[in-house]
Structure formats: structure tokens, C-alpha cells
């Protein structure tokens, strides 16, 4: 790959551009806000503007609901020979691209499994994707040359390509990224009811749980809305668990003899079981047990 274009110079787009520039690829930066693209250029991510000739690969780094329209526009304008995207939802953009009549032989959906709670080009990092899975979602229509090109993109960014079906990807990120973001946001929102004397006791645990709640609300509304069904299914299960725990805690907090000893014991067992399942579930996250990153499965990211 000698040349590329990045459409959308936010956190992910600029990080891709920085990684490619670090490997000697000539990068063109395109953004609906020229000032944002200019910031990315000042960071060394590339040059602002449309190339005179089609580049080898165009990376569409816009929110999921805009991927298909952006792909359609820049295929018509012959921006690149091949196209990919980095959106965190895959089913909806693929379906919309087909409806718009995009050339699907030259398009391969992708999703680098990395991100930060900050947004914008100033938060970008050239090594953001190093050692991370980069999901590729080819279809029977995807050309072999396009697949090779997008695999090369992942490799140039230091990531490991991981092939998944569109629906399987969306279910996976609902579990590992999208639903956790909602839960973190709900926990953080409860702090609005706290006063200064309470909040001064906030420790590292609260900071860990709520860190990702600092993400851009408009962007996350788009992401969650684009993967709404899969996210709702995960959150429905969380809601059932929460309902059970609320009942158990109320029983444990009630004064005897309002709650018989056997009922108290059952409620306590429900609470312990939930905490044990949490310990077991956390242990399944790649790298948690060993303290080192493991490159198996799909890692959480945005």
C-alpha cells in the first residue's frame, strides 16, 4: 500500500492515519469539518484534501449511520480502488450499502477493536491498534484483492485480522462493548444525585467502572441505535439480574421477623451467587487472569 485516504478525522480515523504515515504510506485526510482535518494534519497524520488520482484504499471513519452514504459518495467520486470502514456496527452499514447500490466487490467492512473514552484527533495515537484484533466482515461478493488490501491495512496498523460474520460481530460487541457502555453511563448518572460530601469518597473502583461513560454522547447514541436489538437483548438479561438482586437486598435489609430466616438465607445466597458469577465472568476476559494481553476472541472496544 502506497497511498490511502481517511474520511473522518476523529479519534479512530486519525489514529489509522498516524499508523499508516508511520509505515510510509501517503495519506489524504477528508472531513466535513476542514478545521478538524487540519488538526489531524498538524499532528502528522497526512495532507488535507482529495487526491488527484484514486488511492489504494479509502478508510471510512464516520459513525455507523453515515457509513453507507459516505461509501456511496466516494465510490462515485472514485476516491480509491478499495474501501473499508471502521464502524463498530456491521449489519446495518452493509445492508444500507447494498440498498444504495454500492460496489460491494470493492468494499470490506472492518472494526478495529480499540478505542478511548476521549474523542477527536487530539486523542489519536499511532499505536492505538497495536496487538488488537481488527475484525473483518467479508461477504461472498467481496473481491479477493479487497480482502488482501484491508488485511494489509490491519497489519500496517499493528493489529491482527479476525474474520467474523456481520451478525456475529454485532452480537459480540453488544456483549463486550455496547451494553457495558450503557451500564457505565447509568452508574455514572446516579452520581448526579450525590452531594459533595459523598463524592469526595469516590475511589479507584468508581473511576474504573465509569471511565467509559465519558465517551461522546451523540456518537454513542448513533452506535447504540445502530445495534439496538442486540444491545437490548443483553441489557434485558442485566435488568433481570438487577431485579433479583434488588429483591434480595431488600429482604436482607428488612428487620426480622418481617423476613423469616430461611428467606434471608436464600436472599444472601442469591447475592453471593451473583458476585461469584461476576468473578468467573471477569476471568474470561482475555488477559485478565495473566495480566498480559491475549490475542484470542473479540476484545472490548468502540
Contact 86, 157 (CB under 8 A): no
Ranges of residues in the chain with a pLDDT under 70 are 255-256, 289-302
| Complete edge-to-edge strand list for the sheet that includes strand 3-7 | 47-48, 26-30, 3-7, 55-60, 80-85, 107-112, 133-137, 160-163
CA distance 222 to 215: 12
Give pLDDT tens digits for 98-130: 999 999 999 999 999 988 778 899 999 999 999
Contact 222, 181 (CB under 8 A): no
φ, ψ of residue 133 in degrees (nearest 5): -65, 145
Give pLDDT tens digits for 242-280: 999 999 999 888 866 777 888 888 899 999 999 999 999
- pLDDT over 70, % of the chain: 94
pTM of the model: 0.86
In Å, what is the CA distance from 12 to each residue of 55, 112, 122, 124, 255?
Answer: 19, 9, 11, 7, 53
Collapsing DSSP to helix, strand or coil, 243 comes out as helix
Amino acid at each position: 500500500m502506497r497511498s490511502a485516504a481517511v474520511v473522518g478525522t476523529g479519534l479512530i480515523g486519525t489514529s489509522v492515519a498516524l499508523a499508516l504515515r508511520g509505515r510510509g504510506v501517503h495519506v489524504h485526510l477528508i472531513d466535513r469539518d476542514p478545521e478538524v482535518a487540519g488538526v489531524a494534519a498538524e499532528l502528522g497524520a497526512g495532507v488535507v484534501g482529495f487526491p488527484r488520482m484514486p488511492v489504494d484504499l479509502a478508510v471510512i471513519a464516520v459513525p455507523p449511520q453515515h457509513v453507507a452514504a459516505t461509501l456511496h459518495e466516494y465510490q462515485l467520486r472514485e476516491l480509491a480502488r478499495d474501501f473499508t470502514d471502521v464502524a463498530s456496527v456491521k449489519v446495518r452499514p452493509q445492508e444500507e450499502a447494498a440498498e444504495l447500490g454500492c460496489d460491494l466487490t470493492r468494499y470490506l467492512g472492518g472494526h478495529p477493536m480499540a478505542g478511548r473514552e476521549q474523542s477527536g484527533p487530539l486523542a489519536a495515537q499511532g499505536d492505538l491498534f497495536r496487538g488488537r484484533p481488527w475484525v473483518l466482515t467479508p461477504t461472498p461478493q467481496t473481491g479477493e484483492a479487497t480482502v488482501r488490501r484491508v488485511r494489509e491495512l490491519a497489519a500496517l496498523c499493528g493489529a491482527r485480522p479476525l474474520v467474523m460474520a456481520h451478525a456475529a460481530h454485532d452480537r459480540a460487541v453488544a456483549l463486550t462493548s455496547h451494553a457495558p457502555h450503557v451500564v457505565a453511563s447509568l452508574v455514572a448518572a446516579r452520581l448526579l444525585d450525590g452531594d459533595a460530601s459523598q463524592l469526595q469518597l469516590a475511589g479507584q473502583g468508581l473511576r474504573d467502572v465509569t471511565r467509559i461513560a465519558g465517551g461522546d454522547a451523540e456518537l454513542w447514541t448513533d452506535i447504540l441505535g445502530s445495534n439496538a436489538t442486540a444491545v437490548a437483548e443483553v441489557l434485558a438479561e442485566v435488568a433481570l439480574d438487577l431485579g433479583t438482586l434488588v429483591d434480595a437486598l431488600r429482604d436482607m435489609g428488612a428487620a426480622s421477623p418481617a423476613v423469616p430466616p430461611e428467606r434471608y438465607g436464600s436472599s444472601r445466597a442469591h447475592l453471593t451467587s451473583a458476585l461469584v458469577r461476576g468473578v468467573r465472568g471477569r476471568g474470561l476476559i482475555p488477559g485478565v487472569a495473566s495480566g498480559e494481553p491475549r490475542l484470542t476472541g473479540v476484545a472490548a472496544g468502540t
